[in-house]
Amino acid sequence: MNTSRRGFLRGTFAGSTVAVGLPFLDCFLDDSGTALAGTRQTLPSVFGNWFQYLGLNPGRWVPDQTGADYKNKVELAMFDPWKSRINLFSGGFYHLDGRPVETHRTGVQIATLGGIPGGRESGASLDSDIAEIIGRRTRFQTLDVTGTGGRFGVSKRAGAAYKPVESSPAALYRRIFGPEFTDPNAAEFVPSTKALAKSSVLSQITEQRRAVLRTVGAADRARLDEYFTSLRQLEQQIAMQLEPPEPLPACSPPPSIGAEAEAGGEVTAVERNVDLFGSLIVHAITCGQTRVFNVTMNTQGCRKAGSTQNWHGYTHEEPIDDALGYQPETTWFIMWANKIFANFLKKLESTPEGAGSVLDRVLVLWQTDHGYARTHTMDNVTTMTVGNAGGLFRTGRHIALAGDPVTRVGLTVQQGFGVRVSAWGSQSNRVTRPITDILA
Partner 1 sequence: MAVRAASALAATLILCLSPTAGAAETSRSFVVSFFAQQFTNQPGDCPGGINPEDERGQISVALRTMGYGPAEVRRLMAGWDKGGEGERRVAEILERRAVINGEPVNPMTHPEAVPDPNLKFVSAQKSVGFDLDGRRTAEDFIDLRTGVAGIDNQLFRALGCNQNFRGTWTSPSAYGEWVWVQLRDSQPAWLLTITGPSSGRDGLVKVRIQRSLDRLSANMDGSPRAHSTYRLDPDPRSINEFDGVIKDGVLTISRQPKFSILWNGLSAPVLNLSDFQLRLQQDARGQWDGLIGGFQPWRELYFAFSHNGIVGDRPGLWHAMKKAADHDPDPRTGQNLGISVAYRLTAIPAFVAVADPRLRSASAKR
Partner 2 sequence: MNRARTLFDWLRGRKRVVSVFTVLAVGAALAWLLSPSTPNSAKVFVPPQVKASRLTPEQYRAVIGDIFGPQIDLGGRLEPVMRVGGLLTVGASSVSVTAAGMEQFDAMAEAIADQVLLQAANRQIFLPCKPADPRKADEGCARLFLSRVGERLFRRPLSESELRTFVAAAGVASTKLGDFHAGLSMSLAAMLASPQFLFRIPVLEEDPGRSGAFRLDGYSKASRLSFFLWNTGPDPELLRAAREGELESNRGLRRQIDRMMRSPRLEEGLRAFFRDMLQFDAFETLSKDPMLFPKFSRREMADAEEQTLRTLVDHLLVRGGDYRDVFTTKQTFLTPSLAAIYQVPVAHDAPNGDIEEWVPFEFAADDPRAGILSHASFTALHSPPGRTSPTERGKAVREVLMCQTVPAPPPDVQFTVVQNTADPVHRTVRQRLLAHATVPSCAGCHRVMDPMGLALENFDGSGEFRTAENGVGIDTSGDLDGVPFTNPLELAAVVRDNPAIPSCLVKRMAAYAFGQELTQDQRVFVKDMRKLFRESGYQVPELMRAIASREEFYQAAPLRPSDEPPMRMAAIGK
* Binding site residues, partner 1, CB under 8 A: 91, 93, 96, 98-101, 103, 306, 308-309, 313, 316-317, 319-320, 374-380, 402-404
> Of 255 and 319, which has the nearer Cβ to partner 1?
319
Closer to partner 2 at the Cβ: 84 or 200?
200
Helix (H, G, I), strand (E, B) or coil at 288: coil
Residue 339 interacting with partner 2 (CB under 8 A): no
Number of residues that bind partner 2 (CB under 8 A): 66
Indicate the angle between helix axes 328-350 and 267-286, nearest 10 degrees: 20
- First-to-last alpha carbon distance for the chain, in angstroms, is 17
Distance of alpha carbon 240 from alpha carbon 104, whole angstroms: 46
For the beta carbon of residue 326, count every other beta carbon within 10 angstroms: 17
Least distance CB 45 / partner 2 (angstroms): 16
- Residues 94-133 contacting partner 2, CB under 8 A: 97-99
Which of partner 2, partner 1, none is residue 376 near (CB under 5 to 8 Å by kind)? Answer: partner 1
CB of 393 to partner 2, least distance (A): 15
Helices marked H in 143-302 — which ranges? 169-177, 193-210, 218-240, 267-286
Q: For residue 52, what are the β-bridge partners?
A: 297
Residue of the chain from 68, 158, 190, 201 that contacts partner 2 (CB under 8 A): 201
Candidate list 222, 268, 316, 352; residue touching partner 2; CB under 8 A: 222
340 Cβ contact partners less than 8 Å away, ≥ 6 residues apart: 147, 270, 271, 274, 297
Which listed residue (158, 160, 197, 320) binds partner 2 by CB under 8 A? Answer: 197
Least Å distance, CB 59 to partner 1, is: 13
The closest of 364, 420, 357 to 393, measured between CA atoms, is: 364
Of the ranges 48-56, 217-225, 302-310, 377-385, which one interacts with partner 2 (CB under 8 A)?
A: 217-225
Nearer to partner 1, 106 or 241 (CB): 106
Name the residue nearer to partner 2 (CB basis): 7 or 81.
Answer: 7
Q: Classify burial at 304, counting beta carbons within 10 Å of its beta carbon; exposed 0-12, middle 13-18, buried 19 or more.
A: middle
DSSP strand pairing (152-156 vs 162-164) = antiparallel
* C-alpha distances in Å from residue 400, one per residue of 65, 382, 403, 416: 9, 11, 8, 19
Buried/exposed code over 100-130 (b: 16+ C-beta within 10 A; e: otherwise)? ebeebebbbbbbbbbbbeeeeebbbbbbbbb
- The site partner of 100 among partner 2, partner 1, none (C-beta below 5 to 8 Å per kind) is partner 1
- Note whether 226 binds partner 2 by CB under 8 A: yes
H helices then E strands: how many in the chain? Answer: 9, 13
Phi then psi for residue 32, to 5 deg, are -80, 10
Q: Which range binds partner 2 by CB under 8 A, 41-49, 180-188, 219-227, 333-341?
A: 219-227
Cβ atoms 32, 298 nearer than 8 A = no
Residue 9 contacts which entry, partner 1, partner 2, none (Cβ below 5-8 A, type-dependent): partner 2
Q: Among the candidate windows 104-112, 229-237, 252-260, 272-280, which touches partner 2 by CB under 8 A?
A: 229-237
Residue 384, burial from CB neighbour count under 10 angstroms (0-12, 13-18, 19+) = buried
Give which of partner 2, partner 1, none residue 41 binds (C-beta under 5 to 8 Å, depending on kind): none
Question: Shortest distance, CB of residue 20 to partner 2, whole angstroms?
Answer: 6
Site mask for partner 2 (CB under 8 A), range 243-272, x = bound: ------------------------------
Amino acid type, 82: W
Residues that bind partner 2 (CB under 8 A): 5-18, 20, 22-23, 25, 91, 97-99, 193-194, 196-198, 200-202, 204-205, 207-209, 211-212, 215-220, 222-227, 229-231, 233-234, 400, 402-404, 415, 420-422, 427-428, 433-434
